[in-house]
Structure 1
Amino acid sequence: MIFVTGGAGFIGANFILDWLAGSDEPVLNIDRLTYAGNLENLASVERDPRYRFEKLDVCERDAVLALMRELRPRALIHFAAESHVDRSILGPGEFVRTNVDGTFSLLEAARAYWSGLEGAERQAFRFLHVSTDEVYGSLEPDEPGFSETTPYRPNSPYSASKAASDHLVRAWHHTYGLPTLTTNCSNNYGPCQFPEKLIPLIIANALAGRPLPIYGDGLNVRDWLYVGDHCAAIRRVLEAGRPGEVYNVGGNNEMPNIEVVRTVCRLLDTMRPDPAGPRERLIGYVADRPGHDRRYAIDARKIAGELGWRPAETFETGIGKTVRWYLDHQDWVARVQSGAYREWIARNYEAR
């Protein structure tokens, strides 16, 4: 089996659903269920015998190690992280705790478990750490995309905490021999994303006729990666990545934030017209956030050349699927925005 940390979050939940759709190998989901952890995302598999959930903090090293020794996973895929930059600016301590201390605790649990394995089990084990392109800092308009050798220059408490965790993973491989893999991805989007991130926030506000807030001049550029493509990349890295290596994962879709918002508005106008008029009328500019990185871009030639992975979705196809999902799941959005999804957890899981 495999262990997944943070499997009730956006990317982790999509990965578990994707994994179980294509594999009979069981999954243990370890999640503390913070504000963005939503087990409703996994309702379709909660009774699947291949799926198991443990409400557990990744900082609880001994508890994680006990589960590893009991269930003997062949891999631990580490998604669990505090990931929202604005939240990190307001409260950096939780980001250091979860992203740095949590990764350290998992590495130590994995090292203790792996050290006790022998033969084929020891050779097969992997610790796959899922990270971000934000650790590399900000690019100028004409600079090439981030490669795996780009120096780290994190600019926010969030990206600094992820950079620290990346360094820990590297050190545990080079010092102790732990067979680690690291992926650094660009901005993900797709189903089940918590609606404080740009794309789901814009969809929700536009449908409700509320203002669409754009930081600064709206020209900050991101490389947009559909979450299903990211899941496929992680599967491929787990399958064939070389221990100790880093693989950058990007969508080949650089776009300014304002163009993302305009695209979403046009799709909503087509799929669900607003009698009041085109939704671009709702766009408004607000003060930029502190330290806002200007541009991210990924050079994904390594994962393409070594492992044969390339994104299947263009931004046009991926954003179309995403907008359609949110239109078809307005009840999910309403429960997340109201906090009722936590009641769903209590009603559907904790009482069992």
Structure 2
Amino acid sequence: MRSILLTGGAGFIGSNLVRHLVRGKGVSVVNYDKLTYAGNLESLRDLEGDPRHVFVHGDIVDREHLGAVLAKYSPDAVMHLAAESHVDRSIDGPGEFISTNVVGTFTLLEAVRGYWNSLDKGAAESFRFLHVSTDEVYGSLGSDGFFTETTPYAPNSPYSASKAASDHLVRAYRHTYGLPVLTTNCSNNYGPSQFPEKLIPLMILNALDGKPLPVYGTGKNVRDWLYVEDHCEALWTVLRNGRPGEVYNIGGNNERTNLQVVHTICDLLDALRPRPDSLSYREQIRFVQDRPGHDLRYAIDASKIQRELGWAPRETFETGMKKTVEWYLENLEWCRRVQDGRYQRERLGLSSVNGIPEREENIL
């Protein structure tokens, strides 16, 4: 593949994927992004001047603009990552999630369908539309078991419900129109250039600032953690070798409780950037009111993608976390620049439930 239209390429996973494709695979990328609060071209400053990266400022609900961009750049594939993605924000304001994740995906599918129908036979046969989704569409697991590609959908938040709806739309466009789509459902990503509202960067920055490290409930909620560079390679593998119409779950084989994650961050900071008073950063941990409807456990069975396409994660949780903490310590100025004043690490996701504004720092 020579050229890819990638939506959401200024976000966390998207910016890492743009760099992975341009520098790692030699692919030209048209980066289509709305530049919301969590999308920032600071994450791609190192690609300035590279002719293989073209940025287009646009919104996926704009059908006419999408059609014009597709016609102008004639991509060989579309990788769809643009989405509102934070559960707490979806609790406070679900409308934006429906607009972007559901209506936006529908609009993009319509634009891509029109473009695909205009291609000659050979180009149409090789074209692919990759929809990047989440394991949260499956709901919550108990203490055992794993999500597979056939697990029934049971979303429990406005965010996961909006992503589930978009997954169903993508599937319908395959079965109704024959569009050559692929869908991936991934576990929790972490790594460089993640916006500081998410658990890992938030804990790192709060720790360094001497602020409390707020952990929801008892901290026993479990997530499977996937290093973002491993995810990028998995997406490339699915795009190149996946079978149209198929779903592939992507996981890191790294289940940890939220409290274990925070402990790992504290221990790494203790070694890499000790507190002036020589105490452990664990002293800053505070347990706070749990998120409404907080899913207990997510865990991915990624055996299908490994068996059929030969992908497996390279990073362990320990190696990935060390790289992540080191990146944030070396890029504190980036963290300052991407927080433009609208988000100051305040707690989200409770005001609409209790009717009382919350100012506790937010975590995943």
Q: TM-score range by the shorter chain?
A: over 0.9
2:172 corresponds in structure 1 to 171
Distance 1:89 1:11 in 2: 22
2:226 corresponds in structure 1 to 225
Secondary structure of the residue aligned to 1:29 is strand
Match of 1:288 among 286, 290, 315: 290
Distance 2:26 2:240 in 1: 15
Secondary structure of the residue aligned to 1:76 is strand
2:313 corresponds in structure 1 to 311
1:65 corresponds in structure 2 to 67
The 5 Å alignment of 1:235-254 reads: 235-254=236-255
Structure 1 residue 159, shift from structure 2 partner: 0.1
1:349 corresponds in structure 2 to none
Letter in 1 for 2:209: A
Structure 1 residue 338, shift from structure 2 partner: 4.6
Letter in 2 for 1:192: S
Secondary structure of the residue aligned to 2:339 is helix
Secondary structure of the residue aligned to 1:48 is coil
Give the fraction of aligned pairs with identical amino acids, expressed as a percent: 64
Match of 1:46 among 25, 45, 48: 48
2:148 corresponds in structure 1 to 147
**In the TM superposition, what whole-angstrom CA distance separates every residue of 1:81-108 from its partner, at most 9, and x where no partner exists?**
0000000000000000000000000000
TM-score, normalised by the number of residues in structure 2: 0.92
**In the TM superposition, what whole-angstrom CA distance separates every residue of 1:164-217 from its partner, at most 9, and x where no partner exists?**
000000000000000000000000000000001000000000011100000000
1:32 corresponds in structure 2 to 34
1:215 corresponds in structure 2 to 216
Distance 2:227 2:179 in 1: 30
Distance 2:64 2:84 in 1: 22
Match of 1:135 among 134, 137, 161: 137
Secondary structure of the residue aligned to 2:5 is strand
Secondary structure of the residue aligned to 1:334 is helix
The answer as to whether partners of 2:21 and 2:28 remain within 8 angstroms in 1 is no
1:325 corresponds in structure 2 to 327
Secondary structure of the residue aligned to 1:223 is strand
Cα 1:333/1:340, change in 2 over 3 Å: farther
1:4 corresponds in structure 2 to 6
The answer as to whether partners of 2:106 and 2:166 remain within 8 angstroms in 1 is yes
2:86 corresponds in structure 1 to 84
Structure 1 residue 45, shift from structure 2 partner: 0.7
Letter in 1 for 2:204: I
Letter in 1 for 2:249: N
Distance 1:36 1:140 in 2: 31
Structure 1 residue 22, shift from structure 2 partner: 1.7
Structure 1 residue 340, shift from structure 2 partner: 10
The answer as to whether partners of 2:31 and 2:55 remain within 8 angstroms in 1 is yes
Secondary structure of the residue aligned to 2:60 is coil
Unaligned segments of structure 1, at least 5 residues: 342-352
The answer as to whether partners of 2:42 and 2:338 remain within 8 angstroms in 1 is no
Secondary structure of the residue aligned to 2:259 is helix
Structure 1 residue 120, shift from structure 2 partner: 1.4
The answer as to whether partners of 1:46 and 1:52 remain within 8 angstroms in 2 is no
Secondary structure of the residue aligned to 1:285 is strand
- Number of positions where the alignment pairs a residue of Structure 1 with one of Structure 2: 340
Distance 1:331 1:106 in 2: 35
Secondary structure of the residue aligned to 2:38 is coil
The answer as to whether partners of 1:2 and 1:25 remain within 8 angstroms in 2 is yes
**In the TM superposition, what whole-angstrom CA distance separates every residue of 1:39-68 from its partner, at most 9, and x where no partner exists?**
010011121011101100001111111111
Secondary structure of the residue aligned to 2:51 is coil
Letter in 2 for 1:32: K
Unaligned segments of structure 2, at least 5 residues: 344-364
Distance 1:159 1:221 in 2: 17
1:183 matched to 2:214? The reply is: no
Q: Alignment RMSD, CA only?
A: 1.1
Distance 1:140 1:327 in 2: 36
Distance 2:273 2:147 in 1: 38
Distance 1:265 1:337 in 2: 23
